[in-house]
Structure 1
Amino acid sequence: MGSYRRTVAIAWTLLETMVFLGVLAVTCEGKVQRPEYDDTGAPEFLNPSWMASIPDSRPLSEVTLPGTHNTMAFYGGALTECQSWPLDLQLRAGVRFLDMRVRHVKGNLTIHHGVVYQRAHLGQVLEGVARFLQERPTETVLMRLKEEFSETNDIYAAVVDYVHCYANWDLLWHSRITPTMGQARGKLVVLQDFSGPDLGMRYGSLHIADDWKVPTLLHVSEKWQSVHEHLAAAAVGNSTRTYLTFASGAGIFAYPNAVAQRINGRLYKYLSDMAGISKRLGIITMDFPAAPLLKMIIDFN
């Protein structure tokens, strides 16, 4: 029995080593721009005003829209980098859900992915979103906001100060009630993932699938199953509730870019097979999405 266990342990170690080398191979490749995956510095094309055609009466919970996971995670190496386009190009490419993680230190709110500082602060994000919405008043932006790499559990006052300093109070949708498209135009809808009075909608009120742990690339199929099942649920679920599906994932032996290349490809095929059908899929949040994939998601409206 002991010999068998040692053999299994050795086999598993070799398998993990092969997977790790595969991750390194993907990581060391040059920049890629494919229909489903893009880690270059700019999208293939832009789609800045796509929400203009959505009826004012449609609740935001019934709109299918693309998003980015860890929207500002540009630094720290392959294990922490999740995006390659700057915020303004993400918005102009059609991204409408942003995932922001802030570290709270002495009233400052810096952007982090785990321990890694992303060389930006929340004020720069608010300025960028405000500028975009001023230029494109037909659009709306949803932004999940949570504390990361600090545990003060008290960022509300700092967030309010940043809104007043870097944007304006009227930029926000000030209700936990889901707005219609007409009510949301020109607004930033904060999905509040922190305690305090209502600043926007509550992140926890969404129907969320965020199975982000992908230990190795051998677990990609399990991750895809989670994504597939939640998208299917969004199509038939309660239309008054917003569905949010994270297609992103990572692990020690599965870097974000390696997972994205595989999951984004499956997502692209899944959506391609349903092309031409009007279907509510909710918010689909990705690492390194490509412009054609964003457009495909948008077209479900």
Structure 2
Amino acid sequence: MVDYSNWLRDVSDDTKLSTLSIPGTHNSAAYHMALPSVQCQDASITEQLENGVRFLDIRVSKNILHSDDQQYNLVVCHGKFPIKLLGNVELSEALDEVYKFLDSHRSETVIVSIKQEGSGTWDNDHDEFGNCIWDRYVNKNKDKWYLGTDIPKVGDTRGKAVLFRRFGVKDQQRKSQFGFEASWWTYNTSNDDRGNLQVQDWCEINKPEDIGTKANYVKEHIKRAVDYNSTNTDSQKLFVNFCSGSNFFDHECWPQKIAEGLDQDKIDETFGKGSGILVLDYAKTNDWRIVREYVNKNF
């Protein structure tokens, strides 16, 4: 039986992360009481990690309640909205959960995606956002991160967070030590191949009938990953497959409804060895069934 809190323990050190089937969560910290269109999870980051999730999607904003240095204590958001009805959740809180998990599960690694969203303006011609992430969050905890720009092997990342950087950096020297770059892909894409990164992130679910279309895109991307990894055991391509999507104006297209629809459309029937990163909403659904079936494909 798989120990989902330590499942990477049974994976060889020489295995590339890109050749695994890795369950992830979309807007991972959005598990607090919030607007139904904003909440994306129903379990904490710690619970997610203990149940097998190994990719976290975290979106952050300046703290616009402050105009001084406190504004750079970044808060987690979903689009323009805070992820909690009362009070903010700071990025430092989310990362502390990751660090504590890795301290007690030294065989594991967690891929942490960080993206700039929300309110507040940034001078990114001068790397204001990137410098904030580096100075306040990464550099002071450098021993807790794998910051290589390559696709690493499991053995290189045990006990560490792997930075999946969804923001650009202009400073070339900084860029060379600042994680895997995934700063952009085409919006609303069903398949965008960036060479070392291939993404499915079709998210404009305008009506309930579109959920079936989304399910097909998810299945097609799983098949691409499995087919590629079956013939490229030293894979240099990371497949990322978002199961998320929404329409703010139609409650039948809010995150929980889409998660239920993908489950009903049996996306799990396409799971295989080397399926890539599958980014889920409401990952706890049916006692983590999708997460656990996905992990099981590694064995």
Structure 1 residue aligned with 2:282: 288
Alpha-carbon separation, structure 2, partners of 1:77 and 1:267: 28
Structure 1 residue aligned with 2:211: 220
Structure 2 residue aligned with 1:3: none
Q: Choose which of 141, 155, 162 in structure 1 pairs with 2:110.
A: 141
Cα deviation for residue 114 of structure 1 reads 1.5
Cα deviation for residue 98 of structure 1 reads 0.3
Matched, 1:297 2:289: no
Q: CA RMSD in A?
A: 1.9
Deviation per CA, 1:55-95: give whole Å up to 9, x if none: 00011111111000011113432111110101110110111
SS of the residue aligned with 2:75? strand
Matched, 1:169 2:142: yes
Q: Choose which of 60, 64, 70 in structure 1 pairs with 2:27.
A: 70
Does the aligned pair in 1 maintain the 2:202–2:214 contact within 8 Å?
Answer: yes
Task: Say which is worse superposed, 146-155 or 62-71, in terms of deviation.
Answer: 146-155
Structure 1 residue aligned with 2:264: 265
Alpha-carbon separation, structure 2, partners of 1:46 and 1:114: 34
Deviation per CA, 1:134-187: give whole Å up to 9, x if none: 10010000011110014413311211233268x721111121111100001111
Cα deviation for residue 264 of structure 1 reads 2.5
SS of the residue aligned with 1:120? coil
Identify unmatched segments of 5+ residues in structure 1: 1-44
Cα deviation for residue 116 of structure 1 reads 1.6
Structure 2 residue aligned with 1:54: 11
Alpha-carbon separation, structure 2, partners of 1:235 and 1:203: 21
Deviation per CA, 1:258-286: give whole Å up to 9, x if none: 11101133245515xx6xxx621000011
Cα 1:47–1:157 shift into 2, 3 Å? same
Structure 1 residue aligned with 2:54: 96
Which structure's CA Rg is the greater one? 1
Does the aligned pair in 2 maintain the 1:249–1:260 contact within 8 Å?
Answer: no
Alpha-carbon separation, structure 1, partners of 2:268 and 2:197: 26
User: Number of residue pairs matched?
Assistant: 251
Letter in 2 for 1:280: G
Cα deviation for residue 97 of structure 1 reads 0.4
Deviation per CA, 1:221-269: give whole Å up to 9, x if none: 1111111111111111263211010112111321111111011332455
Cα deviation for residue 96 of structure 1 reads 0.4
Letter in 1 for 2:29: M
SS of the residue aligned with 1:162? helix
Q: Superposed, which structure 2 residues align to 1:238-257 within 5 Å? A: 239-251=235-247, 252-253=249-250, 254-257=253-256
Q: Choose which of 100, 109, 112 in structure 1 pairs with 2:77.
A: 112
SS of the residue aligned with 1:260? helix
Q: Choose which of 160, 184, 193 in structure 1 pairs with 2:134.
A: 160
Alpha-carbon separation, structure 2, partners of 1:216 and 1:193: 28
Does the aligned pair in 2 maintain the 1:247–1:264 contact within 8 Å?
Answer: no
Structure 2 residue aligned with 1:15: none
Structure 2 residue aligned with 1:208: 199
Does the aligned pair in 1 maintain the 2:5–2:49 contact within 8 Å?
Answer: yes
Alpha-carbon separation, structure 1, partners of 2:24 and 2:38: 18
Letter in 2 for 1:68: T
Letter in 2 for 1:160: W
Task: Say which is worse superposed, 242-251 or 144-153, in terms of deviation.
Answer: 144-153
SS of the residue aligned with 2:38? coil
TM-score, with normalisation over the residues of structure 1? 0.78
Letter in 1 for 2:292: K
